[in-house]
A and B are shown apart, each in its own frame.
Chain A
Amino acid sequence: MNPFTPPFAIFTALAVILALAFCLPCSLAGETDMPPPAMMIAQADAAGDTDDEDYENEYGDADEGLSDPLYHWNYAWHVFNDRVYLWLLEPTAKGYSAVMPEQTRGCVRNFFDNAMMPVRFANCLLQAKGRAAVDELTAFAVNTTVGIVGFRNAAEDMLLYEPQSEDLGQTFGTWGAGHGIYLVWPVIGPSSLRDTFGIVGDSFVSPINRLSTNWNIGLRTYDVVNDTTFRIGEYERVKQAAIDPYSSLRDIYVQYRDRQVAE
C-alpha cells in the first residue's frame, strides 16, 4: 500500500485532523492545571518551603494527568498483555537469545532501526527539527552503505549522530496536543488516543508496511522478539516495585512520553 495514492492520502489527512480535534481541547483544558514538569518544580519552589508545603503544585493531580474513561477495557487488555508477555514473549525471547549471540541481535536491531528511518525523518521534518532530520539522512546513508544495509550502526560508531526516537504521537505532542484518553491495546500495550493516531499515521510511512501481510507480521514479530532480548527482567522489576501495577504502568507511559515530547 502506498500512502500517496488518493484514498490513503485522504485517510491520513482525516486521521490527523481527527486526532487534533480530539486531543487539542483536552490539552488546552489541561494546561491550566497541568503545567509542564519543569514549571511545576519551579512553582513549588516559589510557593515556599515550609514543613507543611503542599506538593500538589509540584506533581500535579496524578489522576488528572491522563483520563481513563475506558478503564475496564484497558484493564482487560492490561491483564491480557501481562500474560502474553510473561508466558509467551519473554520465554520466546529467552530461548532466542540463548541460541543467538548478542552481537547478532544487536545487528538485527540496527537493521530494523535503520529501516524505520523514514518514520523518524518525516517526524523530524514535521517538528521542524532540521538538524535531527539531516542527521537521520546522514546516518541512513552511512548505515546503509558502510554499515551493510543497516546491520552495523556505523554512523553511531563514528559518533556522527545520537539517534533519538521520533514518532507521530510525539509530533502531535509538540504541536500542543494532549493524550486525550489512556488506551491499552492488545500486544501493543499502553497508548493514548493521540499516540494511537500517531501509530496509524506512522504506519503509512513505515517501509515494513509496504510488504505483504505475512512478511509484515513476520518481520514485526521478529523485531519485537529481538528487541525483548535486550529488556528481559525490566517488566518484572517494574511490577515488583509497584503496589498497583496498572496505574504504575499508566503513569510510566505518560511520564515517559511527556519527556520524549519535551526533548
Chain B
Amino acid sequence: MKMTFRSILALSCIFAASMQSLAGEASNALAVSVDKIFAILGDPEMKGDERKAERHSQIRVVLGEVFDYEEISKRALGKEWKKLNDEQRTEFIGVFSQLLENTYMSAFEKYSSEEVKYESERELGKGKFVVATKVASASKMIPIHYNLMNRGGSWSIYDVKIEGVGLVKNYRTQFRKVISKKSYAALVKQLEEKVAKDSQ
C-alpha cells in the first residue's frame, strides 16, 4: 500500500514536471519571435525612414513564421470559409494577412522600446495554449494574451487578445456585417483597397 502511494506520488511528480516543461514551450516559442522582431527594430543598421521598407520586410518574415494566417482567416470568416474554393481561400489569406501585418507593423513601430513580460501559460486542450503577457505602455501595463497551437512540433499564433479584446472575434463581427450588408466579394474588395491604401 505504502509502495503504491509512493509510486503514485513519484509518478505525479514526474507528470507535473513534464507538464511544467511542456507548459513553457508556447511561451518560449512566442518569446523567440517577439525577440526577433525587437532585434530587427533595435538594430542600428535598420534605423531610420530610409530603411523602413527593409525593416518591414524582415519583420513580415518573422510574423509569417509565427502567425497562422490560414487558421486566423478560417476563424474570422466562420461559415463563409466553407463556401470558398481553394483559390478564393488563398486569395483571402493573402489580403487579410497583409492587413494584419500592416496593423502589427504600426503597433511595433510605436512600442519598440517597451518591455514584454511573460506572466503565465495555460493549456486549453488539444495542443492549444494561452500565453498571458503584459506590455508596458506610457500609462499602464497592457495585458496581451496569445493563443497558440502546436501542430507537429511547431507553434503558431491563432488569436491575440489585447485587454480582453480578441482579434479574431473583432474581425468576425466586421466581416459578418460587410458580408450580410453587401457580399463576400465586396468584403474582399474592401480589404484589397484598404491594404493598397495602407501600403502606399
Contacts and interface: CB of A to CB of B under 8 A. Distances in A.
B106 A240 contact: yes
Pick from B166, B172, B173, B174 the residue with the most CB of A within 10 Å: B173
Contacts of B75: 55, 58-59
B105 to A, nearest CB: 10
Interface residues of A, number: 36
B124 A45 contact: yes
B164 A62 contact: no
Contact of A258 (B82, B99, B164): B164
Interface string B97-135: 001001100110010000000000000111010000000
A243 B107 contact: no
A157 interface: no
Given A42-B124, A52-B82, A256-B165, A237 B103 contact: yes
A256 B99 contact: no
A186 B154 CA distance: 48
B198 interface: yes
Task: Label chain B's interface by main secondary structure.
Answer: helix
Given A62-B173, A65-B173, A248-B174, A256 B163 contact: yes
A63 B176 contact: yes
Contacts of A203: none
Contacts of A256: 163-165
A247 B177 contact: yes
A2 to B, nearest CB: 33
B126 A49 contact: yes
Contact of B174 (A106, A231, A237, A247): A247
A116 to B, nearest CB: 16
Interface in A20-67: 37, 41-42, 45-46, 49, 52, 55-56, 58-59, 62-63, 65
A259 B166 CA distance: 11
Contacts of B172: 59, 62
Contact of B79 (A42, A56, A231, A242): A56
Interface string A227-245: 0001101000100111110
Contacts of B168: 59
A206 interface: no
Contact of A233 (B74, B110, B190): B110
Given A63-B176, A230-B139, A252-B170, A243 B191 contact: yes
B169 interface: yes
A82 interface: no
B187 interface: yes
Given A62-B176, A230-B138, A252-B165, A243 B171 contact: yes
Nearest to A243: B174
Contacts of A231: 139
Interface of A: 37, 41-42, 45-46, 49, 52, 55-56, 58-59, 62-63, 65, 102, 106, 109, 230-231, 233, 237, 240-244, 247-248, 250-252, 255-256, 258-260
Given A37-B166, A56-B79, 9 more contacts: A52-B82, A62-B169, A243-B178, A243-B191, A248-B173, A248-B174, A252-B165, A255-B164, A256-B163
20 contacts: A45-B126, A45-B128, A49-B126, A52-B82, A55-B78, A56-B79, A58-B75, A59-B166, A62-B169, A62-B173, A65-B173, A102-B138, A230-B139, A240-B102, A243-B178, A244-B174, A251-B173, A255-B164, A259-B163, A259-B165
Interface of B: 74-75, 78-79, 82, 99, 102-103, 106-107, 110, 124-126, 128, 138-139, 163-166, 168-178, 180, 187, 190-191, 194, 198
